Structure 1
Amino acid sequence: MHSPLINGWYHAPFGKFPDIDPERMMADAALGALDHAGLDAQQIDSVHVGHFNAGFLYQDFPSALLANHLPALRFTPAVRVENACSTGSAAIHSALHAVLSGQSRHALVVGFEKMNSLPTAEVGKILLKCCYTPEEANIENGFAGVFGNIASAYFERYGDQSDALAMIAAKNHANGALNPYAHMRRDVGYDFCRTPSDKNPFVAGPLKRSDCSLISDGAAALVISRGDQPTGGGQAVRFRAAVQVNDYLPLSRRDPTVFEGAARAWQQALSQARLTLDDLSLVETHDCFTIAELLEYEAMGLAERGQGARVIAEGVSRKDGRLPINPSGGLKSKGHPIGATGVSMHVMAAMQLTGQAGDMQLPRADRAGVFNMGGAAVTNYVSILESVR
């Protein structure tokens, strides 16, 4: 059986949009993906919506909303999927299962989030629900506090990594400056990211504002089709692998400086794809905080434990390096609307693999890895994608 295809996609600009209608945002993303895939809504066999919410919006039950704008979907099975910050990838896996089971020829995935309806402090409280609340609900500064504690533990074990974190932040902002969909399109430079200031204060532990992803509104969508159902004029991208690995939720039950679930997901995905890291042209990885990208270098096998700083210092993860990491700017620059993030990462990879990434385009893009996680590497998704020539 042919592996499933991503046949079309759409990416809305990410940012702070207080007046945007989330229902309209969701519908526009769906229509854009269908148009790009060359399909009509009546050809969709199932709808898979990634939406975290948990209090961002009063309106819930988003899987029922698309039919308001696309009447052809009125009687089409639709489901909402939630898995913390990996909600978008969970929706993609839901669609993959529908396609692989034979229930769907074409499955529509929409990820969206409207986060800026609430004050920042309230957003932090909502996101902290994704930690193990009996032990971690009172951590100060929300998830920045969770990753601040992880960074502090890593620094204590392996030494001050502030230079490396600043280099990661600067790299992603430079990449994001070329991304027309990014929330922050500004190359702020290494010195700004490295130096505490009024505009870049410490937020939690050794993490400064420049180490933290943005609170964003946004939507992205894609169409996943059976492998023998290419549409859209040869722009399809094939799944070589799609893997999910879960780990303990309580940080007290594992070493917080080692993303073991992420490492297992990478190992399984590369094995399933029958590839190595050397076969990849790029990776879109989950840099919700710069310390996360550093630990993900180690999890994917680019460096031994405690040596992740070498990856950025030696230029391996830069756009002109051996394995460009986050050529889109990542969550750090592009933004992190929770339900849309995993879908966005797959769309950005698909753009690269089909030569449609515009100013972001890499000289060579044949295969891509995508890593999207929920919580502090609690639920870990890795996709290996390749262009269909």
Structure 2
Amino acid sequence: MTKAQIVGWGHTAFGKSEHPDTEALMAEAVAAALDHAGITPEDVDGLFVGVFNNGFSKQDFQGALVAMGDARFAHVPATRYENACATGSAALHGALDFIDAGRGRIALVVGAEKMTATPNPEVGDILLGASYRKEEADAEGGFAGLFGRIADSYFQRYGDRSEELAMIAAKNHANGMGNPYAHLRKDFGVEFCNTVSEKNPRVAGPLRRTDCSLVSDGAAVLVLADAETAAGMARGIGFRARAQANDIMAMSRRDVLEFRGARMAWDKALAEGGVAIDDLSLVETHDCFTIAEMLEYEAMGLAAPGQGHRVIREGITRKDGRLPVNPSGGLKSKGHPIGATGVSMHVMAAMQLMGEAGDMQIPGARLAGVFNMGGAAVANYVSILERVK
């Protein structure tokens, strides 16, 4: 187990924010996190900042922006991380390594993105930076087009699972009704999600609008402390295990339906934690598209390849099921501000384990899994979290 523990957090609302940029978004979330953990900037030994950017803002060098929001951080070492949609988890792993190496006692992990000020066609092209552009830049619909191709391939191999994708979307939107931070708090129901209409058009391949996560603004922050420091604080969420596994970027050079990197990360984390998937109380997983969540069911071991549809059909991942998946509403309802997503997912899991999740709460939550990925299962991170205080 890593030495570091989560001892506090902060989270802005996700959606179309009045904040003009990541600087302001980060300032709000950092202030909330400091208050939640009961610390001051003078207590912080390192800042680990995850922002994808890649064209959303002309302002880069975003690790330094935390101190622009609060000058008391001016001399705290700050580093910016980027790893596509897993940017937040990359920053988290940097902070965990920092504490485990004994270089500091308290670290802030800050994830943020300002996306909604960018026109939609540009958003799609910016997100294609998380693909292998030499081969994949021509995807119709931008980054969504890549997952449209994945869904097409899945349907060709295993049969049309459009209705099950709609069931995943409906589940996550129903769950998001209980999340005060969620971008879209609306219960659409399976019929709406499964019907192509003016309000729910096809976006890419068989994917409809309700199969796609939202373009959002937002920021989230985790406060980490070493075990000795955490012992004197109000909260303590430990990392029973954490793992990262990568896969080749180009989809042409792998069987993308295997989600092999995701499977490897899950296998490593479960083995390190000495647990099985059924030991978990809940999972927050990376549902950038509903086909991704279905493939992740298979990668985490809930179903054999091609059988992910049975998991949602049998109600296993519903909030009242055997293993609730995305009780927060996931990226589908909560929103997907790229740099903030991995941090937010860990905040949602920590809230569950501390019994502070409100209407999202899974009764008796004891162990939580988090899966965050960059690209089409290229950079894959899994955490197994448990309450230690």
Equivalent AA in structure 1 for residue 191 of structure 2: D
SS in 1 for 2:258: coil
SS in 1 for 2:383: strand
Q: Is the 8 A contact 2:8 2:37 kept in 1?
A: yes
1:137 aligns to what?
137
CA distance, structure 1, for counterparts of residue 298 and residue 221 of structure 2: 30
In the TM superposition, residue 70 of structure 1 has moved relative to its aligned partner by: 2.2
In the TM superposition, residue 18 of structure 1 has moved relative to its aligned partner by: 5.3
TM-score (norm 1): 0.98
Deviates more, 1:101-110 or 1:20-29: 20-29
CA distance, structure 2, for counterparts of residue 4 and residue 227 of structure 1: 6
Q: Do structure 1's residue 309 and structure 2's residue 313 form an aligned pair?
A: no
1:64 aligns to what?
64
CA distance, structure 2, for counterparts of residue 7 and residue 42 of structure 1: 16
- Indicate the RMSD between aligned Cα atoms, in angstroms: 1.1
In the TM superposition, residue 55 of structure 1 has moved relative to its aligned partner by: 0.6
Identity among equivalent pairs (%): 62
CA distance, structure 2, for counterparts of residue 42 and residue 72 of structure 1: 7
2:38 aligns to what?
38
CA deviations on 1:245-277 (whole Å, 9 max, x unpaired) are 010000001012110000000000001111111
Q: Do structure 1's residue 98 and structure 2's residue 83 form an aligned pair?
A: no
Q: Cα 1:24–1:202, aligned 2, differ >3 Å: closer, same or farther? A: same
Deviates more, 1:227-236 or 1:120-129: 227-236
1:300 aligns to what?
300
In the TM superposition, residue 68 of structure 1 has moved relative to its aligned partner by: 2.2
In the TM superposition, residue 6 of structure 1 has moved relative to its aligned partner by: 0.3
Q: Do structure 1's residue 370 and structure 2's residue 370 form an aligned pair?
A: yes
Q: Is the 8 A contact 1:37 1:231 kept in 2?
A: no
2:254 aligns to what?
254
Q: Do structure 1's residue 111 and structure 2's residue 103 form an aligned pair?
A: no
- The ranges of structure 1 where at least 4 consecutive aligned residues each deviate by more than 4 angstroms after the TM superposition are none
SS in 2 for 1:238: strand
Q: Is the 8 A contact 2:176 2:184 kept in 1?
A: yes
Q: Is the 8 A contact 2:369 2:383 kept in 1?
A: yes
1:4 aligns to what?
4
Q: Is the 8 A contact 1:48 1:91 kept in 2?
A: yes
Q: Is the 8 A contact 1:7 1:231 kept in 2?
A: no
Q: Which runs of 5+ in 2 are unaligned?
A: none
2:89 aligns to what?
89
Equivalent AA in structure 1 for residue 173 of structure 2: H
1:331 aligns to what?
331
Q: Cα 1:42–1:258, aligned 2, differ >3 Å: closer, same or farther? A: same
In the TM superposition, residue 22 of structure 1 has moved relative to its aligned partner by: 2.5
SS in 2 for 1:152: helix
Q: Is the 8 A contact 1:2 1:227 kept in 2?
A: no
Deviates more, 1:355-364 or 1:328-337: 355-364
Q: Cα 1:232–1:206, aligned 2, differ >3 Å: closer, same or farther? A: farther
In the TM superposition, residue 31 of structure 1 has moved relative to its aligned partner by: 1.5
CA deviations on 1:276-295 (whole Å, 9 max, x unpaired) are 11211000000000000000
* Map 1:225-236 → 2, pairs under 5 A: 225-230=225-230, 233-236=233-236
Q: Is the 8 A contact 1:38 1:231 kept in 2?
A: no
Equivalent AA in structure 1 for residue 220 of structure 2: A
Equivalent AA in structure 1 for residue 95 of structure 2: A
CA distance, structure 2, for counterparts of residue 282 and residue 364 of structure 1: 10
In the TM superposition, residue 21 of structure 1 has moved relative to its aligned partner by: 3.8
CA deviations on 1:113-170 (whole Å, 9 max, x unpaired) are 0001110000000001111011001111011100000000000000000111000000
SS in 2 for 1:65: helix
SS in 2 for 1:228: helix
Equivalent AA in structure 2 for residue 111 of structure 1: G
1:320 aligns to what?
320
Q: Cα 1:109–1:231, aligned 2, differ >3 Å: closer, same or farther? A: farther
Q: Is the 8 A contact 1:283 1:323 kept in 2?
A: yes
CA distance, structure 1, for counterparts of residue 257 and residue 246 of structure 2: 16
2:54 aligns to what?
54
Equivalent AA in structure 2 for residue 215 of structure 1: V
CA distance, structure 2, for counterparts of residue 309 and residue 6 of structure 1: 34
SS in 2 for 1:323: coil
* Map 1:158-173 → 2, pairs under 5 A: 158-173=158-173
CA distance, structure 2, for counterparts of residue 262 and residue 227 of structure 1: 29
SS in 2 for 1:229: helix
Q: Which runs of 5+ in 1 are unaligned?
A: none
Q: Is the 8 A contact 2:26 2:69 kept in 1?
A: no
Q: How many residues align?
A: 389
Equivalent AA in structure 2 for residue 209 of structure 1: R
In the TM superposition, residue 232 of structure 1 has moved relative to its aligned partner by: 7.5
1:217 aligns to what?
217
Q: Do structure 1's residue 387 and structure 2's residue 365 form an aligned pair?
A: no
In the TM superposition, residue 233 of structure 1 has moved relative to its aligned partner by: 4.7
